[in-house]
Structure formats: structure tokens, C-alpha cells
Amino acid sequence: MSQDEQRGPSPRPVARLRLVAAAVLLVLVGAAVIVVALTHQRHAPQPPASAAGTPAASSAPGIPAGSGAAGKTRTAPAPAVAPLPRATPVHLDVPAIGVSSDLLQLGLNPDHTLEVPPLSRDSKAGWYRGSPTPGELGPSVFLGHVDSAEYGAGVFFRLGKLRPGDTVTVRRTDHTAATFRVTRVASYPKNRFPTLEVYGNTDDAELRLITCGGAFDSSARSYLNNIVVYASLVGSRAG
């Protein structure tokens, strides 16, 4: 020991101390990073179980899952409002879930499935141009991503949190803002998607907001469900 100290006076114990300190620091920082990562896991909200599955079940009034606003979760019959003239939508606002998105126009893929918005950092919602414009008679269809593998949460990440009574406003090229009220929120397995119920004719002006939900099939890189929000026109104003 004395020989060592004579050869190299003090650097070694100091270096050792530094190394130990560095080791402790690395372990602490590493552990902190892991804790931060694990506490920042985000998962898209899903509609209540009562909204899942069959059309019959989804149209039944839902039992509120621990929410105070019992009346809001019931299927709210929207008053019939006369449809608006045709006008292309430009902007979508869903205040209850913090959505404010300019709109893309979407068509159909060659296999007749709906085209979806491109995956990008600035996730936008899109209107299917083969459907009625919002406010026109019939179901006007809007799509948004719940998330993307590269960019994280998408514009409709919280769509499953909407409940009957929440409002959706669409600004249109004729400078009107059409307001819709959510009537129900449903989750359908993609392999049993009730096409006619979602896209079929309606007696009033309605909206369909669609995103993905349910469990994620990582081998198919796809969610197993679609979340569909149904809303009916309740009014419009210049805007």
C-alpha cells in the first residue's frame, strides 16, 4: 500500500472515488429515465363497454362508468334540424377532446376501402369526398388517425372519450359553421364492421367520426376495432 502511494501519490484513490461516483450517478440517471418512460405511457381512450359490439348493444343507452354526468352518457335524441346546402368542409373542432384540425379530402383506395390521411407529424383529419358534405342530408364521414408508429398520438387519439351530448363543429367553404351533437359512440370489430349502419342513408344531416381502437395486432400492424362517433346536426351559424 505504501509502495503504491509512493509511486502515484493520491491519483488512484481520487480516480476510484470518481469512478464510484460516476457509477452511482449512471445507475440513478438510468433508473430515472426508465421511470419517466414508464410513467409517460399513453393509450387511446376507448368507448365504454356498453358501446362495443353489436349495433343493438351500441344503440342501447350506456351505463356511465363511474362518471358523475349520468345524463350525458345516455343516447341523446338530437332534434331534427333542416339540412344545409352543399358546401365542402374546411375545419373541424371537437372541443371536448381538444381537436382543432384543418381538413384533408379523402377518396377510396382501389379495393374500395376508405383512403386514410397520410401519416405525418402534423396529423390532420380528413373528410371522405364521396360522402355528403357536413350539414347536407345523410352521413358525412370524417377520418383521423388514433396514432402512427413513427409520430405517436394522432388527431383522433382521444375520440373514444367522446360521449353523447358533446358537440362537433365544422366550418365550411360557404362560411357557415355547422354544429353537431354526439348521439352515440360505438366500437366495432373491423371484421364485423356494420357498413350499412355506419355509411347507410339517414333521415337527417349526420356526422361519422372514425378512428381505430381496441387491441393492436402487432403482426398485422393494425388495430382490431374501429371507433365510430355518431352525431346529428343541431344548428348552424355564419362563421
Q: Which regions of the chain does DSSP assign to beta strands (E)?
A: 89-94, 99-106, 125-128, 138-143, 147-148, 152-153, 167-172, 176-189, 205-217, 222-238
| Cα gap 61→173, rounded to integer Å | 36
Helices then strands (H, E): number in the chain? Answer: 4, 10
Phi, psi of 122 (to 5 degrees): -95, 85
Query: Grid coordinates in use for 189?
Result: 370489430
| Cα gap 227→189, rounded to integer Å | 9
201 touching other proteins, by CB under 8 A: yes
Give me the least distance between CB of 169 and other proteins, in Å please: 21
Site string for other proteins, 70-109 (x = CB under 8 A): -------------x-xx--------------------xx-
| Cα gap 147→100, rounded to integer Å | 16
Closest to other proteins by CB, 228 vs 234, is 228
Cβ partners under 8 Å of residue 124, min gap 6: 101, 102, 103, 104, 117, 144, 155
Matching residue, cell 331534427: 80
Give me the least distance between CB of 178 and other proteins, in Å please: 14
156 touching other proteins, by CB under 8 A: yes
Using CB under 8 A, pick the residue from 170, 186, 207, 212 that binds other proteins.
212
Cβ partners under 8 Å of residue 102, min gap 6: 90, 91, 124
53 touching other proteins, by CB under 8 A: no
Interacting span for other proteins (CB under 8 A) from 14-22, 59-67, 162-170, 230-238: 14-22
121 touching other proteins, by CB under 8 A: no
Give me the least distance between CB of 210 and other proteins, in Å please: 5
Write out the binding residues for other proteins, residues 157-196 only, by CB under 8 A: 157, 188, 190-191, 193-196
Interacting span for other proteins (CB under 8 A) from 57-65, 72-80, 178-186, 213-221: 213-221
Write out the binding residues for other proteins, residues 126-145 only, by CB under 8 A: 128-132, 136-139, 141, 143-145
112 touching other proteins, by CB under 8 A: yes
Using CB under 8 A, pick the residue from 57, 63, 80, 215 that binds other proteins.
215
Give me the least distance between CB of 19 and other proteins, in Å please: 4
231 touching other proteins, by CB under 8 A: no
Q: Which regions of 22-166 does DSSP assign to beta strands (E)?
A: 89-94, 99-106, 125-128, 138-143, 147-148, 152-153
Closest to other proteins by CB, 93 vs 174, is 174
25 touching other proteins, by CB under 8 A: yes
